[in-house]
Amino acid sequence: MSKDIKINEESGIDFSDLKEWKTLKALAYEHQQFTLDQLRLLTRHRESNGLNDVCKKIGKTLYLHDSGFSLWISQQ
C-alpha cells in the first residue's frame, strides 16, 4: 500500500502508550469533528485505506491509536 504509515522511528509515535488506544466511541467523543458512523466506515475499510496500522482488534472491540489516527488524517 502506498499510504502506509511509517511506524516508530519515522513517525515518532509511541504505539506502546496504552492511553493513546481508544475505542471508536471514545475517539468520537473526544474529537467531535468525527462522528461515530464516520469512524466506523473508515475502520471497516482499514485494510484498503492504510488505517490498519493504527487499529487493533481485541476480542470484539476495535481500538484506534489517537496520535496514529491524527498522522493518518494529515497524510490524506
C-alpha cell at 52: 490498519
pTM of the model: 0.82
55: alpha, beta or left, given left = phi > 0 and alpha = psi -120 to 50?
beta
pLDDT at position 8, please? Answer: 54
SS3 content of the chain, % helix, strand, coil (to 5): 45, 15, 35
Q: Are strands 21-23 and 55-58 parallel, antiparallel or unpaired?
A: unpaired
pLDDT tens string, the chain, 76 residues long: the values are 334 444 455 677 888 889 999 999 999 999 999 999 999 999 999 999 999 989 999 999 999 999 999 999 998 8
